[in-house]
Amino acid sequence: MGAFAKASASRKVASLLGGIAMLGTSALVLSGCAAGAGGDGGPVGDLTLKIGSALPETGNLAFLGPPEEAGVALAVKDINDAAKGITVEVTWGDSGDTDNKAYETEVPRLLDAGVSAIIGAASSGTSLQFIDQVVGAGVVQFSPANTSAAFTTYDDKGLYFRTSPSDVLQGEVLGNLIAADGIKTLGMIVLNDSYGNGDGSKDANGNFTSGLAGFISKAFTAAGGTVVAQPTYNTGDTNFDAQISEVTAANPDAIVLVTFEEVKTIAPKLIGGGFPSDKVYFVDGNLANYSKDFKAGLLTGAKGTVPGLNLDTIADFTTRMNENWVADGNEDLADVFAYGPEAYDAVVLIALASLEAGSTAGVDIAAKLQEVSGGTGGGEKCTDFGTCADIINGGGTADYDGVSGPITFNEVGDPTEASIQVYQYGSDNVAVPYAG
């Protein structure tokens, strides 16, 4: 089993043992959105819900594109097969990244297609490039993988939601895990964006104060450790020799790689250059299957964290997701399922909110998303679209608990219940749940 963590409302990690991680809620309130045609009386007639996907088919998170799109595809199939008064149509698009900027043409295309919601992007930095454009059009933006804390207080007109927790939690879990492993001094190589180092600000000791790197530093130093180096790089960079030299020159006990796909260049040089693999830590942006990318044994003993449930516990779902994906003519997902469950839940929640509102207008959907997630209380628990839809169609209130977890949105569209898994790489360069 992977290690879970619990966080109180003050966001302090209580344990690295099994459990559900609870995120503190914010006092901010969603901007008022009018109820849909269905109101409290349930849906009116059959609905056709158009959604778009802006997920990474290219760019430095392209490895996350297939599982996320597979999650969307399976949700659409399940919703349409259920025949509960709503049909979902998808327009697929590529978010790219902040280097290739695929979103500059793709997002306008999705909006022109008349979508009510856009699923994506995976990268927080990429989502921040087009969030104003999406919510300004009255369209819901729903990410399965954005973890930057910046979204919690972002002026999103009440139209932004995510099924993955803020990096405040992941940083606490990873920082405490590293300290618990006996590490006293820590180096980092950090992506210079909202995900990696946030706004780039530093404290009196020179440590980043925001972004995933900042939250790792905060937890690690609170546990008695010292961060000795944290060189950064920019999206699109291809040479990382300077960053590797700087971080290894500080002679840290361990190094965290707060990166995306750039790790494919960094890890062979860092570990191949003599730094011990079991003292290297990965994050959700790069925790992937590298069995075909690295020589056997390169990553043996390296650990990493990723939001979401232990995939072993939802093996039936991931099998079904992969089979549906392959049946549509795509390549096998090869056990890379990260954020696929979160993408599935995003689509289901949007469809349930639309059904509850009796409307496909983005603002109406947004007004019901907290309710169908159980965030307003008093709902009847349900774990699949069909059952939840029956509750709504019968005049009740559905409380959807998804395959990625309970979710339960707060007033600003953040999940208030989430888990962080710890994984460890074997000699085959495949990460498996860490037994502790």
Question: How far out from the chain centre does Cα 394 lie?
Answer: 33
In this prediction, residue 4 carries a pLDDT of: 28
Q: Say yes or no to pLDDT of 15 above 80.
A: no
pLDDT for 337-363, tens place per residue? 999 999 999 999 999 999 999 999 999
Radius of gyration (Cα) for the chain, nearest Å?
A: 21
Q: In the prediction, which pLDDT does 45 show?
A: 60
At residue 313 the predicted structure's pLDDT band, cuts being 50, 70 and 90, is confident
Averaged pLDDT score across all residues of the chain:
90
The per-residue pLDDT for range 212-258, each reduced to its tens digit, is: 999 999 999 999 999 999 999 999 999 999 999 999 999 999 999 99
Provide the b/e sequence for 210-239 (b: ≥16 CB within 10 Å): bbbbbbbbbbbbeeebebbbbbbbebebee
Q: How confident is the model at residue 417 (pLDDT cuts 50, 70, 90)?
A: confident
> Is it the case that residue 33 has pLDDT exceeding 50?
no
Would you place residue 334 in the very low, low, confident or very high pLDDT band (cuts 50, 70, 90)? Answer: confident
Q: How far is CA 145 from the centre of its chain?
A: 2
CATH match for 32-164+318-405 among 3.40.50.300, 3.30.70.20, 3.40.50.1820, 3.40.50.2300: 3.40.50.2300
- State if pTM tops 0.75: yes
Best CATH choice for the domain 167-307+420-433 from the list 2.40.128.20, 3.40.190.10, 3.10.450.50, 3.40.50.2300: 3.40.50.2300
Q: Which amino acid is at 125?
A: G
Determine phi and psi for 185, rounding to 5 degrees. -125, 140
List all residues 6 or more positions away from 66 whose beta carbon is below 8 Å from its beta carbon: 325, 330, 331, 333, 336
For residue 331, the 8-state DSSP code is P
Q: What confidence tier does 31 reach under pLDDT thresholds 50, 70, 90?
A: very low
Residue 299: which residues within 8 A CB-CB, separation 6 or more? 267, 271, 277, 280, 290, 425, 429
Residue 305 has pLDDT above 80, yes or no: yes
- The helix/strand/coil state of 6 is strand
The answer to which of 22-26, 41-45, 47-51, 268-272 has the lowest mean pLDDT is 22-26
Report residue 81 CA to chain centroid gap: 27
Residues of the chain with CATH 3.40.50.2300: 32-164+318-405, 167-307+420-433
Rounded to an integer, the average pLDDT of 180-209 is 97
